[in-house]
């Protein structure tokens, strides 16, 4: 029992050390999940205590980069929750057409699956050419992968089904070139995309946007950090701009619950009031 208490103390110290040294702020991440990820990393790095891990992370920046890969969760798919993208097409795109130019912010874009899904959808709806997409994440390795746009063919086959269910109008294979078991995304899809390092925990708003997509990111934040992130989205969005979240996320328990209205509630699509 007391060794468990020690672990909790050490985890707090590690997170504080990471913040002080590297300015990555995990202090308001949901505790249960971050604890599991740190303990998992501990085994991978063959450290016996979190304190031992902390020493290595403090004195070796490359070690921190490795740990960061465990602290962030790169779980993503293209057209994840197809019903969500179908709702975007049917209930949001017609309104996006009313703006002369569109800025979309994909916050916590991870390895890029959400970015390419959005770019494909906007292209098929004739909007991509007048759109700028900002794709941001805190993990530089994930951003690099997102820029490369290379995914395994095995996952692409699953995404093809998602794409179809999401109201896709073409053959999904038109959007990539297959080679050696991998698929390389059509590079013209990212001509309108700016990838950037941005933290919802420490950075501020950088642009006015018409649509913010932040899916399966807020679940890793505690309520205070969730409110901070929603505050950034609220500030960034133009009047009546759209906010879209992951299928199990909601703003119901947030301080910003009253500042957005549900647009397609089951698909977690909201509109700024």
Partner 1 sequence: MKGIRAVVIGASAGGVTALFKVLGGLPADMAVSVLCLLHLPHNRESHLADVLQRRLGRPVCEARDKQPVQPGAIYVAGPGYHLSVERDLTLSLSQEPPRHFSRPSIDYLFMSAADAYGESLLGILLTGANEDGAEGLAYIKNSGGRTIVQDPRDAQVALMPEAALALHRPDHILPLSGIEQLLATLEPSAC
**Residue 160 CB, nearest distance to partner 1 (Å)?**
18
**DSSP-based three-state secondary structure for 185:** strand
Size of the site for partner 1 (CB under 8 A): 25
By CB under 8 A, tell whether 33 contacts partner 1.
Answer: yes
Environment class of 65 (CB within 10 Å of its CB; exposed 0-12, middle 13-18, buried 19+): middle
Nearest-approach distance from CB 157 to partner 1, in angstroms: 17
Q: At its nearest, how many Å lie between partner 1 and the CB of residue 210? A: 26
Q: Of residues 152-211, which lie at the interface with partner 1 (CB under 8 A)?
A: none
- Among 47, 52, 65, 73, interactor with partner 1 by CB under 8 A: 73
Residues 206-265 that bind partner 1 (CB under 8 A): 216, 218-220, 222-223, 226, 248-250, 252-254
C-alpha distances (whole Å) from 31 to each of 61, 219, 220, 224 are 24, 11, 9, 13
Write b or e for each residue in 236-258: b if 16 or more Cβ atoms lie within 10 A of its Cβ, otherwise e. Answer: bbeeebbbbbbeebebeebebee
Partners of residue 81 on adjacent β-strands: none
Select the residue interacting with partner 1 from 37, 103, 198, 268 (CB under 8 A).
Answer: 37
Residue 236 tokens read as 């960034």
Q: Applying CB under 8 A, which of residues 12, 36, 169, 265 lies at the interface with partner 1? A: 36
Instruction: Tell me: does residue 72 bind partner 1 (CB under 8 A).
Output: no
Residues 6+ apart with CB under 8 A from 267: 81, 83, 84, 87, 88, 244, 247
Closer by beta carbon to partner 1, 77 or else 186: 77
Site for partner 1, residues 1 to 20, rule: CB under 8 A: 1, 4, 8
Strand partners, 271: 242, 261
Contact residues for partner 1 (CB under 8 A)? Answer: 1, 4, 8, 30-33, 35-37, 73, 75, 216, 218-220, 222-223, 226, 248-250, 252-254
């Amino acid at each position: 029992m007391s060794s468990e208490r020690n672990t909790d103390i050490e985890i707090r110290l590690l997170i504080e050390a990471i913040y002080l040294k590297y300015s990555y702020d995990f202090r308001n991440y949901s505790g249960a999940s971050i604890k599991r990820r740190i303990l998992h990393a501990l085994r991978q790095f063959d450290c016996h205590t979190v304190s031992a891990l902390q020493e290595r992370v403090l004195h070796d920046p490359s070690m921190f980069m490795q740990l960061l890969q465990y602290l962030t969760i790169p779980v993503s798919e293209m057209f994840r929750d197809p019903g969500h993208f179908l709702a975007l097409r049917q209930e949001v795109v017609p309104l996006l057409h009313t703006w002369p130019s569109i800025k979309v912010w994909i916050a916590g874009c991870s390895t890029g699956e959400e970015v390419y899904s959005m770019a494909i959808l906007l292209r098929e709806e004739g909007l991509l050419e007048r759109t700028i997409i900002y794709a941001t994440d805190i993990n530089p390795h994930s951003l690099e992968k997102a820029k490369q746009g290379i995914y395994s063919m095995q996952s692409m086959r699953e995404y093809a089904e998602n794409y179809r269910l999401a109201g896709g109008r073409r053959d999904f294979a038109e959007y990539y070139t297959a080679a050696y078991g991998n698929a390389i995304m059509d590079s013209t899809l990212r001509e309108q995309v700016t990838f950037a390092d941005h933290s919802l925990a420490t950075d501020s708003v950088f642009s006015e946007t018409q649509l913010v997509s932040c899916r399966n990111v807020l679940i890793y934040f505690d309520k205070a950090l969730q409110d901070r992130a929603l505050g950034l989205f609220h500030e960034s969005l133009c009047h009546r701009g759209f906010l879209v979240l992951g299928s199990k996320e909601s703003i119901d328990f947030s301080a910003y619950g009253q500042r957005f209205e549900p647009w397609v509630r089951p698909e977690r699509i909201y509109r700024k009031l």
